[in-house]
Every structure is written in C-alpha cells, then in structure tokens.
Structure 1
Amino acid sequence: MTDAPQDTAPVDEAPVLSADERGVRTLTLDAPERRNALSLPLMTALRDALDRAADDDAVRAVVLTHTGNTFSAGADLSGRGGTPHDLVALLRALVELPKPVVARVTGHVRGGGLGLLGACDLSFAANATSSFAFSEVRVGVAPAVISLPLLPRLDPRAATRYYLTGERFDAAEAARIGLITEAAEDVDAALAPVLTALRRSSPQGLAAAKRLVTAEVLRAFDRDTDNLASMSARLFGSAEAREGMTAFLERREPTWAQ
C-alpha cells in the first residue's frame, strides 16, 4: 500500500480517492496542496465515500489514508470549511459505519485531523514521519467538536496537557495516550496482519463488535453535540480567533503571544 495507489480514481471528482483490494477499501484524502484541510468539499466527498462503503457488501473494512506529507491539517482556514455540524456529521459517519475504519498515517496531523483519528476504530502511524498537535489554542479556538470521539478514548492527563499547550508530539506518545493504536517503523507491515484478521472476520460479527466498542463514543455525540458545536461556532466567530487565523496565514505571531 502506498500513499498514492496506482489504481485509485476520484470520488465524484472530489478530493478523495478510492481503491479496493480483497475486501478492503482504501479512501485517500487527496488535497495535498491544502494539506488535506477539512474543507466542505473534502468532508462531503469523504462522507459520500463512506456511505458507498457501508452499502457495498464486498467491503469488509475501510482504510483511511492520505497523499502528501500531512494526513490532515484540520480546519480549512480559507473560508471553505463548512460548519461545526458538518464536521460532527463526518465524525459520526466514521463512528457509525458498520465496518471497521483503520487510519494509516505517514505524515502530520493537526487540529480537526485528530478528530478523524479519534473517530476511526484503529489508527497506525509511522514513527519517522508522523507528528501530532492540538493546535487550536494557538489560533484562538479550542478542540471542541473533535472532543466527541476523542475524550472518551484519550488519557485524561495527556488530553489536559496537549489541549492546553498545543505542543507537538510524536507517534510513540500518540500511542501511549490512546490517540492511535500503534506507532510503527513500517506502517504497512504493522497494518498487514490487522487487515488479514479483518478479512477473516464475519461481517455481522464485525458490525456487532464495533457497536460495543463505540457505544460510549456515541453517547458523547448524543449528549454533547449541540453544546460543543455552539462553542466551536462562537469561538471561530470571535475577534480573537480572527486575529489568530490571520496571524497563522500571514506566518506571524498573534498579538497575544509573549
């Protein structure tokens, strides 16, 4: 499996590629010029691709990966990012898909991209090329909506540290705190036995087992979606966030940095 499989094809001419191999459908985020930021077109294309995978009896599992050196940079700050509820819908689609979703990461993950990892059932990241950060606090917002799949799974002390500081951390630390399943020297070698096991598993059994392990995450969605979506919208609409995002795009420090 490579970052850009030779037999991939556009999904509805949108920035997601799809390829099938022996019951595993690989969906590749393919907007490297935007660092696979979560634009509305990308989120819509990925949701459509997940819907197709759910309806295809030949698909036993889904691998979510990327082109370029960034899995996802998080929110699209260019004005194409959609609403908090658009992101909620995508994250919930990943959690509710009745087939396992496995993230394959060989690059950087920031902000909302970490929400994608939290919504996947399993996540594998390359030690040498992967890095992670909850970068929201650096631009005047907070990891609100992505907390829905993440907080039920993250180590609480680690979540507190990285939510508050925005520090960058590596794949080994991401595995230690529960953000990913495994940090690997060779991510495809680590994935191979997992995909073999999923191919040998009953579709009915997989769907039922996934419902068991995602029950607490879905309770968080049911309980907290409205409050966290409102918080996200309020923060992104604030003057402080406008300053933070402008500073980021202009590659300068925001006014509050000391």
Structure 2
Amino acid sequence: MIPLTVRLACSPYLLALELRGYGLSRIDPTFLQNLSYNFDSLRYLEVDQPSLRDDLIDFLNFLACFPQPSHLKITPVGSAYNSELESLLPSTSIPHLSTIEAPYDLAGTLVHGRPVLSLRLWSARENGLDRKLFSRLAEGSTPLKRLNVDCGKWRDNVLLDIVEYFPTLQDLQFRVLREDFYPNLMLERLASDIKGFLPMQRFVIYHCAMGSPEDDFDHGTLKLLAVTNDRLALIGLRFKTERYEGNRRWVLLPLS
C-alpha cells in the first residue's frame, strides 16, 4: 500500500481532506510543513482528533499548514481553552475560514479575526454556553449568519445574549440535551426575546434527550413565537421520544 504521505504529496488539487483515528503523534509535523504548498486547493478539512486535549499546541501548528480551507470540522473532544494558544494561530492563518464545526472552546480560538459566517458548536459540558463564550465567538471579521449549538443546560436568557452578540443572525438551531426540558415554558419566554430579532429567518430547537414531553406540547406556543417575528420563514421543534426510539418527529410551522 502506498504510504499516506506519498498519496497526499501526489494530490496537489485535493479539495477535501479527512483525517480519522490518527493522533497527531502519528503525523510528522515537519512533513506537513514541507508539504503545505501542495494544499493550495484544499477547501474542506475534517479532523477526528481524540488526543486533542493533550496535543492542542501541535494541532494549532498543524492547522497553520493549511492556508486555504473555508470549512473546518473537528470531532468533539472536550478540549480546554487556553488564551495563550491563540498566538500560535494568528488571524492571518486560515484567512478564508467561513464555516466551523468544533467544540465550544476551540471554536472560540478559531473565530477570532476570520470571516466566519456559520458555526456548529459541540460541548460535553453543562454550562459552557455563556456570555464569555459568545463574546469570543463575536470576534470574527464578518457578522455571523448561522449558529447551530448544543445546549447541555438551558438558560432562560440565552437568546437575549445571542441577540446582543449576533444581531445579524438569520438561522439559529439549538440541540437541547437535557430530559428536564419543557418547550411550552421555554417558548413563552422566548416569544418576547425574539420580538426584536429582525434578521431571523429560521429558528429550530431539537430536543435530543429521551423522554421528551411531546404529548404535552401546546402548538399555540409555537404560533405565539412565530407571530412575534413576521420574517421567520421556518420555526419548529424536533423531538426524540421513547416510544419511537431512533426516530425524530417534527412540529413545524412554515410561514408564507
């Protein structure tokens, strides 16, 4: 079999690269640096990095070898953010990055100074979705348009924080990972919060925990949320239930 390094060296027009199941200790950093000129065409980079917690400095050096990607996806690893590491990946690196799928803390490092339009955030922590994180995520060079985020612990004022930091957001999706989540109460609170959120066109909440209170859901609360913002094109909830394990059922209100 031809070694990975040789196959990559023969792929100067590579558009997408996925690295799965390899720790950074198995990829020679010197090789990546010498090879980086061969990745001028690379637009999509996905890294399955289970050892990122221990190798974050090496990983940021690794990213610096790829100047062109516009879409970066990093498997959730629960890494701890360290502000000193930002100097290892200056905003001049990956200057065309517009889409990031990454854990909360690492996304906060990557957004700074880059034209990021779309964020998909993962988190294994209960309370990572806070104002400090939003402040960091708002440091991109372009206003954010799409935000898709895991929410392990729902805070009543989370949408108000999002409105404050991302006033141009058009597409907002939450994945609520808690069983003790009651959409009726949540939507009643959100109805007033979203009223002034004029750019919003799509708002969806996924309840991914088992035992969702779908049967108790009042569709009137969904309509209440919709009428507060007449620019919404799609608003809805998505449930995963014990009775239909593995399936998800939609409660959607498309607007004309």
Whose helix fraction is larger, Structure 1's or Structure 2's? 1
Is the structural similarity TM-score above 0.5? Answer: no
Structure 1 length normalisation: TM-score? 0.34
Greater Rg over alpha carbons, structure? 2
Larger RCO: Structure 1 or Structure 2 (Cα < 8 Å, ≥ 6 residues apart)?
A: 1
Structure 2 length normalisation: TM-score? 0.34
